[in-house]
Amino acid sequence: MTEIKDKQALVLASGGDKDAFGELYDEYAGRIYNYIFYRTGNQFDAEDLTARVFFRAMRHITNYTDRGVPFSAWLYRIAHNLVANWHRDNSRRQEVALDDGYRADTGEEQPEKTVMRGEDENALLRLIRNLPEERQQLLILKFVEHMSNSEIGQIMDRTEGAIKSLYHRTLIALRDDIRKGNPDHFSPEALAKLVELDNEK
């Protein structure tokens, strides 16, 4: 869906057009699911929370006003709040099984496979679980969703500069964990790849 079609669908959906909301659902459901799956590590909870995101969005879409923030950012904010509540309610962190769960079929190689693979990927995700919530959100948006610092800032309600600063502090924290030998297999080369990809943004 082009940006123009996206906005057209949003205008119609905010006016109560269910078919238009269905178009928005088709466009964003896979991305929102992937984000939630990486935050929860559980296929069934991710499916449930994704459904809740769109139920909440549908319930409030008639009150949606365009304030210069993309519709997708609104969805991610809803998803973030629901995931935060999920973690508080369950008081647990789960390992992400990368071979489980749904992946949106975009016709392209999935983003997580373009950053790091195999044991490095699993080890990085274990590290992410130990980071503060906002840093988990940042890394998943950047390397699972492949968003720019500007796009992430819109979702996290921060400036692009603040996101860039948070990202570098997060890299330092990851590097320190690696040097302490916390991850079993995560290599310094994989961390260097994260820095390289960020510099390409």
Query: Does CATH number 3.40.1190.20 belong to domain 108-201?
Result: no
- Where do the structural domains in the chain lie, given as residue ranges? 1-106, 108-201
Mean pLDDT of 20-25: 90
Domain 1-106 sits in CATH at: 1.10.1740.10
Range 3-11 average pLDDT: 74
Please state the pTM of the whole predicted model: 0.71
DSSP letter at 54 equals H
Reported as a single tens digit per residue, the pLDDT across 40-61 is 888 899 999 999 999 999 988 8
d(CA 191, CA 172): 10
Q: What is the CA 61 to chain-centroid distance, rounded?
A: 21
Per-position b or e across 124-141, b if 16+ CB within 10 A of its CB: bbbbbeebeeebbbbbbb
In the predicted structure, residue 165 carries a pLDDT above the cut 90: yes
What is the distance between the alpha carbons of residues 106 and 168, in angstroms, rounded to a whole number?
30
Nearest Cα residue to 121 out of 132, 129, 130, 113: 113
